[in-house]
Structure 1
Amino acid sequence: MTKTGIVVTLAMMGLLQACATTPQQQRQVGCVGAGVAGALAGAAVGNQLGGGSGNDILTAGGAVAGGVAANNAAGC
């Protein structure tokens, strides 16, 4: 995904949260946003480590770990 795609995705999540009418809907959108942002951050960190096929494994692992950590931190 390109940087532009990431920015557009995060902007859309913010707009969806603003359009949510109930606190429960806002929380659900916020949880998705936290998970996506955490996964992107984890993938970026994992991508910086390792080399070759190990780089792919660390990128995927970083994305999973970042998503889970962000959801836990957001209380989802």
Structure 2
Amino acid sequence: MKKFGILSALGVMAVLQACATTPQQQRQVGCTGAGVAGALAGAAVGNQLGGGSGRDILTAGGAVAGGLAGNNAAGC
């Protein structure tokens, strides 16, 4: 069920980017998509490490780091 929700969110972002009419709107949606995709990837990696409460901390840290890296990679 989580995978369906993630894929749905990414699909909505793609549709929103297609509906954006100005380059500035397209950039804003693209930056949001990059941040969300990076956060999801970082959280997935962080969740694979550690155990117990350490896993929760690494998941949250991975989400933050991934979101920042996604925004950086997109030039936002």
The equivalent of 2:25 in structure 1 is 25
* TM-fit CA distance, 1:70: 0.6
Separation in structure 1 between the aligned mates of residue 71 and residue 12 of structure 2, nearest angstrom: 19
Show structure 2 runs of 5+ residues with no match: none
TM, length-normalised to structure 1: 0.98
Moved segments of 4+, more than 6 Å: none
Alignment of 1:1-76 (within 5 A): 2-76=2-76
Show structure 1 runs of 5+ residues with no match: none
Q: Which moved more, 1:1-10 or 1:62-71?
A: 1-10
Cα deviations by residue, 1:7-59 (Å, 9 ceiling, x for unpaired): 00000000000000000000000000000000000000000000000000000
% identity of equivalent residues: 83
- 1:44 is matched by which residue type in structure 2? A
TM, length-normalised to structure 2: 0.98
> What is the aligned length?
76
